[in-house]
Chain A
Amino acid sequence: MKLNEHSQNLGMRIGTIQIVAFVMLGILGVRLYYLQVVKGEHYSERAENQRIRHIPIPAPRGVIFDRNGKILVDSRPTWNVVLSNEPIKKIDVTSRVEEYADGLNLEPGFVVERLDLIKKQNEFETMVLKENATMQDITWVESHSLEFPELRIENQPQRFYPHGTQLAHVLGYVGEISPKQLESTEWNEKGLKPGDIIGKGGLEQYYDEFLRGKPGYRKVIVDSRGRVQSEIGVVPAQAGQDMVSTIDLGVQLAAEQKLAESASKRGTLIAMDPNNGEILAMASLPSFDPNIFVQGSKTPEGRKQIAAYWQDEKRPLYNRAIQGRYPPGSTWKIPESVAALQQGVITVKNSNMVCGGGIQIGSKFTRCMGSHGSPPLSYAITHSCDGYYYRLALKMKVEGLIQMVETFDYDKRTGVDLPNEKVSQTPKSWKPIVEKREGRWNDIRTVFASIGQDTVVVTPISMLRAVASIGVHGKMYTPHFLKEFRPIGAIGEPDDQTYIKPRDGIPYANTEPKLIEMTPEQEEIVVQGMWAVVNGGGTGAGIRIPEFEIAGKTGTAQVAELGKDVGANKDHAWFVSFAPAFKPEIAVIALVENVGFGGSHAAPAAKGVYEAYMAGKGILPTVPASGAAEANTNSGTARAID
């Protein structure tokens, strides 16, 4: 040290600086040790989390087939514009609403809604901004990828309903799970997340669990702006299980057509195999196009159309077959007849009752439509004698009617495999209310109830199930649409972490039918009466098919008082039936709203369904042009006595 001579501890001062320098480097070393050695694993994981993304591969839903393998619903590929969440955290997307709306031809309000939803999502998910992207949209997204790295095009199989409005109520439709559903534990447990597609209504909803597949994913590496750099793994999606339904498309289309040809174009037709409950056809008009729900919920026009469906007074979204409740009119007399025999009010040998052209209760005289003397049961059924049933019901008393309701399950849902089935209303449900309101149950209500009016409103499906059982020795099956779910293979090997188990095929598990106790004789006289309705000059004589004898019962349910039953308030027309009469293969119920007599409106519609069924079986070579014209010529006789 040569400068010592004129320094003040210079060596020490230099040493101090050296020590300070080493201390500073030492601090860096300690901090490094903490970050790299102590917390290294933690940060390594964080780095991995921020660069690895799982991009979902949507699973196609199972196809739904008719009983002959014809496609009722399937999925087809579409392209969606999706927003990925990650880059959005680093930019203010609300400033891009205008640009998205402009570029993708969306409503700004809708874009705002989507952005709000994405904020509630977990990390690393995507949200569909626009479904069914057009070539123009795809080009726009691709050409703005630097400007808007958060937008991406994804392939998504979209549900497609090739038959449009036909069968719409049975199939239902699919859509994104709603925020409300997501909050409920029922859906929560299934691990669904916003944007997932679930069944809404119909079989899509009822069997959602089976039809819905398990999505796979692509494991990719992204950069800090969320742009995919490379793919490091793929777990394919497992498709949903294909469903074979009991529907017979030919019969279904005929049912749809018959309803469409009816005067009011409102009503329902159901065809069922009475021997097992398999539903061959279920039509409800007016209807809706499920494709609009699937494709249109993201476009202003589509939303307008959906809103119009909800607001339509004719209620096209409502499945009249299971949700409509109508006074059954004279169709009610069939289960009533069986109940009266069961309860011993009449017997097979002595089933006669006075018609009297009507009945006097207090100051009020309630008419029969004809004067039938003192007919036996079969005659009363064939000619729909109201006077007979007035007196029969008074003899059964309201308690007897309630017992009948219980016997034929009118106080329950039928258990059909569709959501939102309604329960019929009957004297059983009304009696306590009436007694509370009026003090007592007046006989006049029993009289009205005897012909399916006043306190009786039933769902068409419950009426079909009850009446169909009478043709098959009282076996009341649960109506259903499922024949089987087909199996689906596993994804990956069992040892894989991402292994998805195979799903077994599931045939419909038919439950034991509820048995209506009848002696063969009792069964015979009721069926005999029904046979004669069509084949013995009864109220449904206009629809007779010689080679396929139909047993049925017409009904004309009053909507308004006599005299006011015109125009929109015309009676509902009913026809409930099975065929062949003494060894039924198919049971059909027809209900046409506000058209008039059952024999002239509902029965011809049912006939069209039988003809389609026979054509399908090869019994009838071709379906005749229309049964309606033929029926109308005979309506004169039907009208007088129905």
Chain B
Amino acid sequence: MVAIIEKRDLRDFDWLTTFLAVAIAGFGIWQIHNALPTESYWTKQIIGLCIAMVAFLVIAFSDYRRIIELAPFFYGFGLVLLALVLTPLGVEVNGQQAWLKLPVVGQFQPSEFVKIPTVLMLAKYFGARKSGSLSLREVLVGCAILAGPVGLIMLEPDAGQAITYFPILAAVLFLSAVQVRYVVIALLAAAIFIPASYYAGVRTGVIKRYQQERINAIIDPESADPKGFGYHTMQSIITVGKGGLSGIKGDPETSQSVLKFLPEPHTDFIFAVTAENTGFIGCVSLLIAYALLLSRLIAGARSASERPGMLVIMAIATAMVFQIFINVGMALGFLPVIGVPLPLMSAGLSAILSTFIAIGFVVSVKMRRFVN
């Protein structure tokens, strides 16, 4: 699968995208260190980054078209992994059975990785069609491809991860010439159905008390129960605000994360740590870096030689921007607290590995933009 690296490969290799991704990940490692200086998360993340780089290079120098052809196999394998999570092989953490512990491989989070075969599967299916508007049948097939992993993830249950799958389908459908009026109808329907189903969920008890609390905490964090989730939202807001223009100076021993006011500072709330330590300047720089990375990806999509490659890049870019928005929105206290890692920043091998594999595909697509 690994192609022999030729001179042309090195010339076409997307150095800037790679640099941006590695720079953000390096910045993330610094923040993980800031979050918990006395713990080993940041050293583990360095190792994670090295592993991710290897996987990234392997994918980048592979021919993505061959991999897309094998998409149904990877997709099926992904579903098996997600199903295994629900068996006694799965590991339960904080009431969610989202981890799989396998011999040799160790412990990882399949829901992070299965995004990639899902993207490939959708790209394969929608990339094969020629032209004209999408038929209802095609839309339903797309939904079915998504429903497999999302359904299994909801059984864990990990609503946060499940939500990150939807932008993938939305992007693929949008780019596969779904009619604009359907897009408008879908947006209108969402505007009506999401509040309505939330209301219905509360009334029927499907939406649990702690989930309601998370929503209420957004609306009024100051008066939220300090023992509940509102506390996390409030502490995150305080941590972000405390950073000010250029971040805290002096004693890191008194940071919000070291004193344990901020929960999960190295994973879910890594952005709040960044905000506390680097302030508005650091945060905006990070957002600009993300914007540049996304621009590079989208530019790659525009120059892709084939529809499946374009779909892979755009699906990955869309998923990434939504994940950034949900994670940072949570840290800034205007979105509910749901466990979604910040791409390239949050500590965790599964997250950084899957993100670099995804970017590997992007680079692979770009390297093969000139039709042979």
Chain A interface residues toward B at CB < 8 A: 1-3, 6-8, 10-11, 13-14, 16-18, 20-22, 24-25, 27-29, 31-33, 35-37, 39-44, 46-47, 50-51, 89-91, 221-225, 229-230
Contact = CB atoms under 8 A, between A and B. Distances in A.
B243 A40 contact: yes
20 contacts: A3-B306, A10-B310, A13-B177, A14-B310, A17-B298, A21-B291, A21-B298, A22-B291, A27-B325, A28-B332, A32-B280, A35-B237, A40-B243, A43-B239, A44-B242, A47-B242, A51-B261, A90-B226, A222-B259, A223-B259
B244 A3 contact: no
B287 A25 contact: yes
Contacts of A43: 237-242
B294 interface: yes
Interface string B61-85: 0000000000000000000000000
Given A14-B314, A36-B283, A224-B260, 7 more contacts: A7-B177, A14-B302, A25-B290, A39-B241, A90-B226, A221-B253, A224-B235
B151 interface: no
Q: Which of A13, A44, A47, A222: most chain B CB closer than 10 A? A: A47
Contacts of A20: 321
A8 B177 contact: yes
A396 B307 CA distance: 129
Contact of B298 (A18, A89, A225): A18
B239 A47 contact: yes
A265 B296 CA distance: 101
Interface of B: 130-131, 133, 171, 174-175, 177, 226-227, 231, 235, 237-245, 253-254, 256, 259-261, 275, 279-280, 283-284, 287, 290-291, 294-295, 298, 301-307, 310, 314, 317-318, 321-322, 324-325, 328-329, 332-334, 371
Contacts of A229: 253-254, 259
A41 B287 CA distance: 23
Contacts of A28: 287, 324-325, 328-329, 332
B39 to A, nearest CB: 15
B329 A17 contact: no
Contacts of A11: 302
A224 B259 contact: yes
Nearest to B327: A28
Q: Which of A10, A11, A18, A221: most chain B CB closer than 10 A? A: A18
Contacts of B310: 3, 10, 14
B317 to A, nearest CB: 7
A36 B287 contact: no
Contacts of B241: 35-36, 39-40, 42-44, 46-47
A230 B279 CA distance: 25
A1 B332 contact: no
Q: Which of B254, B290, B304, B318: most chain A CB closer than 10 A? A: B254
Nearest to A36: B280
Given A14-B301, A32-B283, A44 B244 contact: yes
B238 A36 contact: no
B133 A8 contact: yes
B240 A25 contact: no
B238 A221 contact: no
Q: Which 9 interchain pairs have the tightest Cβ spacing?
A: A43-B241, A40-B244, A36-B280, A21-B321, A8-B177, A224-B260, A223-B259, A47-B242, A6-B131
Contacts of B260: 223-225
B62 to A, nearest CB: 21
Nearest to A46: B238
A124 to B, nearest CB: 14
A229 B261 CA distance: 13
A1 B244 contact: no
B303 A1 contact: yes
A25 B279 contact: no
Contact of B332 (A7, A17, A21, A32): A32
Nearest to B244: A40
B332 A41 contact: no
The prevalent SS among residues of B at the interface is helix
A225 B227 CA distance: 11
Contact of A13 (B175, B226, B305, B332): B175
Given A32-B332, A42-B241, A51-B254, A13 B227 contact: no
A32 B284 contact: yes
A35 B301 CA distance: 35
B92 to A, nearest CB: 23
Contacts of B334: 31
B242 A25 contact: no
A509 B306 CA distance: 104
Contacts of A222: 259
A43 B221 CA distance: 13
A10 B83 CA distance: 37
B52 to A, nearest CB: 23
Contacts of B322: 24
Contacts of B259: 51, 221-224, 229
Q: Which of B133, B253, B295, B301: most chain A CB closer than 10 A? A: B301
A42 B317 CA distance: 36
Contacts of B287: 25, 28-29, 32
Contact of B304 (A2, A6, A8, A37): A2
Nearest to B228: A90
A18 B261 contact: no
A2 B302 CA distance: 8
Q: Which of B130, B231, B321: most chain A CB closer than 10 A? A: B321
A445 to B, nearest CB: 72
A220 to B, nearest CB: 11
B261 A224 contact: yes
Contacts of A2: 303-305, 371
Contacts of A13: 174-175, 177
Contacts of A22: 291
A29 B240 CA distance: 12
B114 to A, nearest CB: 23
B291 A25 contact: yes
Q: Which of A2, A31, A35: most chain B CB closer than 10 A? A: A35
A423 B237 CA distance: 65
Contacts of B275: 32, 35-36
B171 A17 contact: yes
Contacts of B328: 28
B344 to A, nearest CB: 14
Nearest to A89: B226
Contact of A31 (B239, B245, B261, B332): B332
Contacts of A42: 241
Nearest to A5: B131
A14 B298 contact: yes
Contacts of A33: 280
Contacts of B298: 14, 17-18, 21
A25 B289 CA distance: 11
Contacts of A18: 294-295, 298
A14 B313 CA distance: 11
A165 B246 CA distance: 66
A3 B314 CA distance: 14
B343 to A, nearest CB: 13
A278 to B, nearest CB: 57
Contacts of A89: 226-227
